[in-house]
Chains A and B, each alone.
Chain A
Amino acid sequence: MQEILSTIDTGTIEWSRAQFALTAIYHWLFVPLTLGLAVIMGIMETCYYRTKDVFWRDVAKFWQRLFGINFAMGVATGIILEFEFGTNWSNYSWFVGDIFGAPLAIEGIVAFFMESTFVAVMFFGWKKVSAGFHLAATWLTGLGATISAWWILVANAWMQNPVGCEFNPDTMRNEMVSFADVALSPFAIDKFCHTVISAWIIGAVFTVAVSGWYLMKRREVPLAKVSLKIGAIVGIVASIGAALTGHHSAYSVAQVQPMKLAAMEALYNGGTDQSLTGIALINPFEQPDYANQEEPDLKIAAPYALSFLATNDLHGYVPGINDIIKGGYINAKGEVELSLDEKIERGKQAITALASYRQAKKDGADETSLASQLAIIKENMPYFGYGYIKSADQIVPFVPVNFYAFRVMVGMGCLLILFFAVILFFVYRKDITRAPKWLYLSAIVMVPLSYIASESGWLVAEFGRQPWTIQDMLPTWVSVSNLQSSSVMITFFIFLALFTTLLVVELSILFKQIKKGPEYEQV
């Protein structure tokens, strides 16, 4: 039976995006706690190793049990993401697989095996290996998870800022020409630092919240006291670190993804001396009329702050959505930015020349003819993806999501610094075991809020680069697999039902385990 769809089903694109978003959001519920708790339990086991006090071993074991429950879900949700590049984004997988596949393979060889080997030693090796070997296993589990984060964020950063590659018209794909540029791109380093540090915050908030609950209930006081202190120290360091790396990330975005920054800021018309919007009124359910509106209603902003954030200069030029569409300004590279129409035209020239080149080669055309086509391809390749764009609205991300998600992330980040500072005040200046109830309750409330902040960060990163799977190179509708939308819709709902059910079970087990508390071994 031959049934090849002659055009891409638009439903397939939307369901594939929804499925990837769903699985990525679920995965990111578990990964930050894994990364964060890895640091916390590593510190605790180090205390045991140094003091030989069995109390610290019991504390470390308690947090490792909670780590294990969460870790299982991270693994379960993670396998899907890697394979989804192939199953749902097959054109993407060929077009950039030469570059994108490498970080994923290295992640498997270097990170996953380290993580999976030593996590078994960590859980089951307490009586089977020496204390030193066990401590190494605990830290190597965390290190494996962190190296894994490095490579997957290298891959993600490359999608946002494709570097170290060249298009090969003979193989019809992009090929890697510099591994160092891919693996050590500044964009990737910023992304890694900001993401991993923000994950430590989640681990810290979780530790402080569980400890706070024990203190509120007046139980497990010694464990709660030391855990809360370690959690709060990790938390304040990580929160300040997240703010600093966040500034770097925003600067990077301004350099390579100005449209994302414009959407984050709801900046319709840019210019010099731009202010950073604190709050403004934007309908959360529909795209604003950026073409005709000067700026959002009820905008309250900090003068010059956006220019400083984007250019490190209080008077720097920041393009708005309309500026990017119209072009004509000097961009971050110091070149005159082309208008969208010009980019579309040049993208089409690249695609047409590519088709002509392939046909000419098939027909056995002479070298001169091929060389002229190659020259057109090379000249216009930076705008290749724009050849598939039909109108301006296709290149503008959904502003409300970016605008509000960015503010939730930044607002929560500031609140977290304050929160950890207050906790540490009580730890060092007051008696944290007899703190007011509101403090313990606020610690518990901070758990869902910090998760919302963390997921908001990903919403900004991923919604903000729409419609591109690879910035300026490949839009989503050229990246997708040729599947019936019904197939993807069914798997979307299977994932939704499966992950939600497992999440509920995980939370139930986690709460029971916390309620049960640590097991103190008789000495």
Chain B
Amino acid sequence: MITYEFLQQYWWFLVSLLGALLVFLMFVQGANSLVWSLGTNETERRLIVNSTGRKWEFTFTTLVTFGGAFFASFPLFYSTSFGGAYWLWMLILFSFVLQAVSYEFQNKLGNMLGARTFQLMLILNGIVGPLLLGGAVATFFEGSNFLVEKNNITDMAQPVISQWANASHGLDALLNPWVLVFGFAVFFLARILGILYVMNNVNDENIRSRASVRLVGATICFLVLFVVYLVHLLLMDGYAWNPLTGDIMMEPNKYLHNFLEMWYVLVLLLIGVVLVLYGIVRTILSKTYVAGIWHVGIGVVLTVLALLLCAGWNHTAYYPSTADLQSSLTIANSCSSEFTLRTMAIVSLLIPFVLAYIIVAWRKIDKKKLDKDEITNDEAY
């Protein structure tokens, strides 16, 4: 029996999965942030740009679909977070706008701004995108400064139901050190993914050897930040929701309890972490192994999925308000109607079909690894 409650949990799973895939696909941003580090001359930089340039649309589209799916399934989050944390989201969007044209324009005749300008835009997106998206995800645990009052719609003077309780509109999140810790963890994770992707996708020994060195540095930074945040998460008070009364309350070690009470989510997290570590360590130890992106990629998807499920499932407020506890958003109080969730659930049956043709197209494009010959003699950015 598919109940309303089941559909709510299902849609949180789908949105979390999209978020997890988005973090994996940010290998594009991670690699772009290292364009000038992995490539020491223009040919090498073109190789890296062309490598990520064959995949950037997947990341971009996943971000857009993530937004659309959130809008359709949890519209109160959409209106509260986007309308409230205005500047945070605008900065993210600006960086993705810059990215979208940078591939096509950078090496074309008539580019009056020069190739380096657009490389700089890719680097900017490579840094700002993962950092701020990571920061935005951290607010699922750390909370944000907003109020929700649905009765406002009957107030002629002030009908807006979701309001940010300070004037910085989202930038205040960056003053929270834990948000920064998580944001930088995602940033370094994107770099790890980017390095592994380039090692796998670009057939160039110089770039691969440089990537191998950068991988160690990025891994150390990521592991320190991730472990620190994970410990903080397990020890912190969390935002619990009472389904009987609808009240939100603080609960000590809420997220630790969530992992213990949802053992399957804990298993996902552990498998994810092990796969990430396995992929990285094997790549560092073996000079010929270049398939680490797949182990780490799957591991990242599982890890992020587990974290997002922990944020929303098991009667947890996934978007807590630090201004008014009872304004916090839960899966139940922010979701769409049963009819819409049910309709969209039918649409979601298309997702495996979409994934299938993406895999087919991806494999065909990547059948031969990118090399200098291809960017010289074939279609290339």
Q: Which residues of A contact B (CB under 8 A)?
A: 1-8, 68-69, 71-73, 75-80, 82-83, 85-95, 97-102, 104-110, 112-121, 123-129, 133, 137, 168, 171-173, 175-177, 179, 351-352, 354-355, 358, 388, 477-478, 480-484, 487, 491, 494, 498, 501-502, 504-506, 508-513, 516
Could you tell me if A98 and B165 are in contact, using CB atoms closer than 8 angstroms?
A: no
Q: Decide yes or no whether B251 CB sits under 8 A from chain A.
A: no
Evaluate whether A126 and B75 lie within 8 angstroms (CB atoms) in the complex, with A90-B80, A175-B340 already known. no
Given A72-B104, A124-B380, 17 more A-B residue pairs with CB atoms under 8 Å apart are A6-B157, A71-B104, A83-B67, A86-B82, A94-B75, A98-B340, A104-B68, A105-B72, A105-B347, A108-B69, A112-B65, A116-B57, A124-B365, A171-B150, A388-B156, A491-B86, A511-B110
Max chain B CB contacts within 10 Å: which of A123, A480, A484?
Answer: A123
Evaluate whether A99 and B354 lie within 8 angstroms (CB atoms) in the complex, with A121-B364, A482-B164 already known. no
Cβ contacts under 8 Å, B260 to chain A: none
Evaluate whether A126 and B101 lie within 8 angstroms (CB atoms) in the complex, with A101-B78, A117-B361 already known. no
Please report the C-alpha to C-alpha distance between residue A104 and residue B65 in the assembled complex, in whole angstroms.
8
Please report the C-alpha to C-alpha distance between residue A494 and residue B80 in the assembled complex, in whole angstroms.
23
Please report the C-alpha to C-alpha distance between residue A133 and residue B361 in the assembled complex, in whole angstroms.
10
Q: Decide yes or no whether B350 CB sits under 8 A from chain A.
A: yes
Q: Which residue from chain A places its CB closest to the CB of B347 in the assembled complex?
A: A106
Q: Which residue from chain B places its CB closest to the CB of A498 in the assembled complex?
A: B97
Identify 27 residue pairs between A and B in the complex whose beta-carbon atoms are under 8 Å apart, listed by A's number: A8-B158, A72-B104, A79-B64, A85-B78, A85-B82, A90-B83, A93-B79, A97-B78, A98-B336, A101-B75, A102-B340, A105-B72, A106-B72, A106-B347, A108-B64, A109-B351, A110-B354, A113-B358, A114-B357, A118-B361, A123-B379, A358-B154, A483-B83, A487-B87, A498-B97, A509-B108, A509-B111
Please report the C-alpha to C-alpha distance between residue A107 and residue B114 in the assembled complex, in whole angstroms.
34
Q: Which residue from chain A places its CB closest to the CB of B150 in the assembled complex?
A: A172
CB distance from A36 to the nearest CB of B (A): 18
Chain B facing A: main interface SS? helix
Count residues of chain B with CB under 8 A from any CB of chain A.
Answer: 85
Please report the C-alpha to C-alpha distance between residue A185 and residue B344 in the assembled complex, in whole angstroms.
18
Could you tell me if B161 and A94 are in contact, using CB atoms closer than 8 angstroms?
A: yes
Could you tell me if B64 and A82 are in contact, using CB atoms closer than 8 angstroms?
A: yes
Evaluate whether A94 and B162 lie within 8 angstroms (CB atoms) in the complex, with A86-B79, A175-B340, A509-B109 already known. yes
Please report the C-alpha to C-alpha distance between residue A516 and residue B154 in the assembled complex, in whole angstroms.
61
Could you tell me if A98 and B361 are in contact, using CB atoms closer than 8 angstroms?
A: no
Could you tell me if A105 and B69 are in contact, using CB atoms closer than 8 angstroms?
A: yes
Max chain B CB contacts within 10 Å: which of A92, A107, A113, A129?
Answer: A113
Cβ contacts under 8 Å, B57 to chain A: 75, 116-117, 119-120
Q: Decide yes or no whether B286 CB sits under 8 A from chain A.
A: no
CB distance from B249 to the nearest CB of A (A): 20
Q: Which residue from chain A places its CB closest to the CB of B155 in the assembled complex?
A: A355
Q: Which residues of B contact A (CB under 8 A)?
A: 54-55, 57-58, 60-61, 63-65, 67-69, 71-73, 75-76, 78-84, 86-87, 89-90, 93-94, 96-98, 100-101, 103-105, 108-113, 147, 150-151, 153-154, 156-167, 169, 323, 336-337, 339-340, 343-344, 347-348, 350-351, 354, 357-358, 361-362, 364-365, 367-368, 378-380
Q: Tell me which of B81, B154, B380 contacts A86 (CB under 8 A).
A: B81
Please report the C-alpha to C-alpha distance between residue A106 and residue B73 in the assembled complex, in whole angstroms.
12
Cβ contacts under 8 Å, B151 to chain A: 172, 355, 358
Please report the C-alpha to C-alpha distance between residue A116 and residue B361 in the assembled complex, in whole angstroms.
11
CB distance from A444 to the nearest CB of B (A): 18
Cβ contacts under 8 Å, A119 to chain B: 57
